[in-house]
Amino acid sequence: MAFTCVVGLQWGDEAKGKIVDVLAPKHRYIVRFNGGANAGHTVVFEGKTFKLSILPTGILCPTAIGVVGNGVVIYPPRILEELAQLSQGGVEALDRLKISNAAHVIFPYHFEQERLSETSAGNGEAIGTTGRGIGPCYEDKASRRWAVRMGDLGDERALLARLGPIVERKNKLNRALDPQAKEFDAAVLAREYFEYGQKLKGCITDTQTLLGEAAKKGEGMLFEAAQGSLLDLDHGSYPYVTSSNSSAAGIWSGSGFAARKLDKIYGIVKAYTSRVGGGAMPTELLDGPEGIGERIRKIGREFGTVTGRPRRVGWLDAVTLRHTARLNDADTLCVMLLDVLSGLKELKIAVAYEVDGQRITDFPTDSAVLARCKPVFETLPGWSQDISTARQPADLPKEALSYLARIEELVGRPVGVASVGPDRQQTIWLKSKDGP
Ligand code: IMP
């Protein structure tokens, strides 16, 4: 059994869930290690559509055990809602779910704190967050004093004792920013969250030991990264990033699994680029309502799963991909949504940037520099035919194969998969006939 990682190489929404779905049956454990309900995954399973944001999408596989690791921040009602959604769709997951007792808990005051920090940010300084309390919860985790972990939900008295000073402080801080800010009551929260803890009692455990022991027995594990590597707190387009390590770097800290054991890292890449929220995006297509950007947005249904916001779209950017493929040490690239590009006469790929009179090929760490970067494009011929029925490499037009080959060259990693539609069958394995 293998230890596998599926990680996004762009700004999220690379359709990682589809590759997880394909790979999940070969693994016993499917593990989330970062982020929270800011991730949005629409998964079609046996003809039914599920919208998951906190549970690992691989939990849909009936033989898998889903693990929510210590690096995830959890809004418990959301977990219960997703479990109910699965149950209504005929998937019983409660008995197959393990939640780290060291994962941090999101409370309603985190939502309020996030709203206030985004609305009070100066012009152009808002990060454009998803409003799910993610950043404030990680801030509290790092503070060590003002945080609550899943393992704290089992004793109502102790929880109230912990929440008392936290809630008092949160109310004060939120009111200082906005006198109209919502106030919270520690006793009400302690009761509510104790009840969530009771409902999830059978799931909350020491997942670091669980995974460590399972690894010893050689049981397969699939690590499912949320967001994309360019949103990684340390290695992304800081400060326009999320608050966790959304690259494979987060596995070790966010699950306790010794990541050097990983056998294979799949780097998931959309055939173009998309981004939600603020921050620079050098290849963004801003060509108006009749332009290529709008066309890709419509055909690719580029609207956020969590917030519904239209995603910004642009040409593929090899500068960013080189950076994230190296960061994750991706073994294989999976190029998703290739079918969305059908019908375009020409395709562009950014091969370098020009900034302050210089040509650069490395992704800049300074967001102010990134904002000044102009892409240097290479143009490739497009293809006109519908490729959604292609099942083998030979079914793809030569222009599509050249596009994939050029990505391979520019990024310096093999392209193992091309995806030409949401269905599992619409997956073309380019290097091996039978898949992974
Ligand atoms: P936060 O994670 O809600 O704090 O948002 C920080 C930034 O990450 C914003 O630009 C969000 O739009 C972006 N973001 C967070 N989660 C996702 C995701 O799953 N897909 C794409 N962008 C995301």
- Identify the active-site residue in 41, 104, 110, 323: 41
Q: How far is the CA of 390 from the centre of ligand 1 (A)?
A: 32
pLDDT of residue 43: 80
| 231 in contact with ligand 1, CB cutoff 6 A | yes
> Which pTM value belongs to this model?
0.95
Q: How far is the CA of 130 from the centre of ligand 1 (A)?
A: 6
Mean pLDDT within 374-396: 97
pLDDT of residue 357: 96
Range in 36-50, 236-250, 361-375 with the lowest mean pLDDT: 36-50
Residue 431: which pLDDT band, with cuts at 50, 70 and 90?
confident
Of all protein residues, whose CA lies closest to atom 19 belonging to ligand 1?
A: 39
| 243 in contact with ligand 1, CB cutoff 6 A | yes
pLDDT of residue 436: 63
Query: Among 6, 11, 32, 38, which is best to mutate for testing ligand 1, by the most ligand atoms less than 8 A from CB?
Result: 38
Q: Given a cut of 70, is residue 124 above it in pLDDT?
A: no
Q: How far is the CA of 227 from the centre of ligand 1 (A)?
A: 7
As a whole number of angstroms, the distance between CA 15 and CA 320 comes to 17
Tell me phi and psi for residue 8, to 5 degrees: -80, 140
Q: How far is the CA of 228 from the centre of ligand 1 (A)?
A: 9
Which is nearest to 206 in space by CA: 330, 68, 325?
68
Angle at 364 between CA 360 and CA 368, to 5 degrees: 115
CB 105, CB 76: distance < 8 Å: yes
CA 141 to chain centre: 20
Task: Give the residue extent of every domain in the chain.
Answer: 3-100+205-264, 104-199, 269-434
Which is nearest to 434 in space by CA: 412, 407, 419, 416?
416
Helix 76-88 to helix 186-199 angle (10° resolution) is 40
Query: Among 53, 113, 242, which is best to mutate for testing ligand 1, by the most ligand atoms less than 8 A from CB?
Result: 242
Residue 122: which pLDDT band, with cuts at 50, 70 and 90?
low
| 132 in contact with ligand 1, CB cutoff 6 A | yes
Name the CATH superfamily housing domain 104-199. Adenylosuccinate Synthetase, subunit A, domain 2 (1.10.300.10)
Q: What is the percentage of the chain residues whose pLDDT exceeds 70?
A: 98
Q: Is 155 a catalytic residue?
A: no
pLDDT of residue 123: 58
As a whole number of angstroms, the distance between CA 258 and CA 54 comes to 23
DSSP 395: G
As a whole number of angstroms, the distance between CA 75 and CA 85 comes to 16
Name the CATH superfamily housing domain 3-100+205-264. Adenylosuccinate Synthetase, subunit A, domain 1 (3.40.440.10)
Q: Given a cut of 90, is residue 121 above it in pLDDT?
A: no
Alpha carbon of 83 to those of 63, 207, 220: distances in Å? 16, 19, 23
**What is the longest distance spanned by two Cα atoms in the chain?**
67
May I ask the CATH architecture of the domain 269-434? Alpha-Beta Complex (3.90)
